Amino acid sequence: MSRNPKTISEERDYLVLNVKQAKKIVKEWLTEIQLYNVVKLGLPEIDDRYHYWRVPLCSKNSTRIGEVVIDAYTTEIIASKTTKPEILIARLLKQDENQIESSKQNKKEYKLSNLRNTVGLGDSVQLLDDMPSESVDLIFTSPPYFNARPEYSEYQEYDDYLFKMRQIIRKCHRVLVEGRFFAINISPVLLRRASRNESSRRIAVPFDFHRIFIEEGFDFIDDIIWLKPEGAGWATGRGRRFAADRNPLQYKAVPVTEYILVYRKHTDLLIDWFIRNHPDKTTVEDSKISDGYERTNVWKINPSTNSRHPAAFPKELAEKIIRYYSFQGDVVLDPFAGSGTVGSAACDLNRRFVLFENNPEYIKIIREDITSWKNLNLGNVLWINCEPVDPIHKQGSIFNQGEK
Ligand X SMILES: C[S@@+](CC[C@H](N)C(=O)[O-])C[C@H]1O[C@@H](n2cnc3c(N)ncnc32)[C@H](O)[C@@H]1O
**Residues lying near ligand X in the complex (CB under 6 A):** 123-125, 142, 144, 309, 311-313, 336, 338-339, 341, 356-359, 362
**Side chain identity, residue 343:** G
Measured from the CB of residue 341, what is the shortest distance to ligand X in angstroms? 3
Which residue number, 177 or 318, has a Cβ lying nearer to ligand X? 318
Q: How far is the CB of 317 from ligand X (least distance, A)?
A: 9
Give the CA distances from residue 216 to residues 166, 189, 207, 212, in Å, rounded to whole numbers and listed in that order. 8, 23, 14, 6
Instruction: Give the nearest residue (CB) to ligand X.
Output: 338
What is the C-alpha separation between 191 and 40, in angstroms, rounded?
Answer: 66
Distance between CA atoms of residues 15 and 274, nearest Å: 58
Residues contacting residue 280 through CB under 8 Å, at least 6 positions apart: 329
For the bound state, the minimum distance from the C-beta of residue 356 to ligand X, rounded and expressed in Å, comes to 5
Q: Helix 158-175 crosses helix 205-215 at what angle (to 10 degrees)?
A: 40
By the 8 A CB rule, do 51 and 71 touch? yes
SS3 state of residue 186: strand
* Residue (255 or 338) nearer to ligand X, CB: 338
Residue 166: other Cβ atoms inside 10 A: 17
Residue type, 220: F
Closest to ligand X by CB, 68 vs 128, is 128
Minimum distance, C-beta of residue 125 to ligand X, in the bound complex (Å)? 6
Closer CB to ligand X, residue 54 or residue 352? 352
Note whether 189 and 205 are within 8 A (CB). Answer: yes
Name the minimum Å distance from CB 150 to ligand X: 15
Give the sheet arrangement for strand 352-357, strand by strand. 298-300, 218-227, 257-265, 176-186, 136-141, 331-334, 352-357, 117-121, 381-384
8 Å CB contact between 81 and 69: yes
Question: Could you tell me the smallest distance in angstroms from the CB atom of residue 122 to ligand X?
Answer: 7
Beta carbon of residue 333, minimum distance to ligand X (angstroms, whole number): 12
> Could you tell me which residues come within 8 angstroms of residue 118 by beta carbon, excluding any fewer than 6 positions away?
353, 354, 355, 381, 382, 383, 384, 398
DSSP letter string over 275-316? Answer: HHH-S-HHHHHHT---SS---SSEEE-PPP--TTSTTPPPHH
Contact present, 55 and 46 (Cβ < 8 Å): no
Q: Which is nearer to ligand X, 9 or 142 (CB)?
A: 142
Shortest distance in whole angstroms from residue 312 CB to ligand X? 3
Q: How far is the CB of 359 from ligand X (least distance, A)?
A: 4
Looking at beta carbons only, is 161 or 263 nearer to ligand X?
161
Residue 265 or 309 having the CB closest to ligand X: 309
Residue 77 or 184: which CB sits closer to ligand X?
184
Comparison of 278 and 352: residue with beta carbon closer to ligand X = 352
CA distances from 42 to 20, 22, 24, 61 (A): 12, 11, 13, 12
